Structure 1
């Protein structure tokens, strides 16, 4: 099961309704292999469920981090968590033994496509413990 392929599962409403958490609990209970895609550091709230799910079945989290440049982030991802918050969340997940990778999309021509900007994301992701 892939959660977050069409929309982020950790939008602000998730803080109130906890629907993603409930879905993860069911996936854990049935030892169902799971993948998630998110920009939301709120995921660390569910670390207990994710850790148990990872013990029972294959689990992979992909964090979307298209840039670590503050100016580009402000212009292209308004309303999203700062890349540093996402990187801290990656560190916590990896520290709990969860497999985490980073997706760099979108790569925007003329903004985030320069080799040095791409390299900065890769270095930050690796420093946080992301493996793919």
Structure 2
């Protein structure tokens, strides 16, 4: 049973890292290259879509890694799993304090209703997101290392 939990946790966190990495380094660059209104509308749609899904994915990753840490507490690599769980908790706290407030505003913007500093707010979100991606990549790396 522990083996299955280890694999499921690693895959779930790994997929989350892949999505967030793609947002940071691929999708945002594509949206930013579109004409102003199209790019802003794309960011708003992405904020609605991923803003609905990601809370479950982040919390699920924390729960899975915590379950692995508890179930595997007497096994090799337990400290790595605990460290990964802590990093995932940090990513959730970062999300709630820094990224979600900006995303909640962004997801409602249209070309007619967006504030004058909308681009600066999106750039701020991106800076925070880069840090969050680094945190979850580190967590994923620790989980992968705990497997071996």
Per the normalisation by structure 2, the TM-score is 0.29
Q: Which has the larger radius of gyration?
A: 2
Higher strand share: 1
Per the normalisation by structure 1, the TM-score is 0.32
User: Whose relative contact order is higher, 1 or 2, with alpha carbons under 8 Å and at least 6 apart?
Assistant: 2
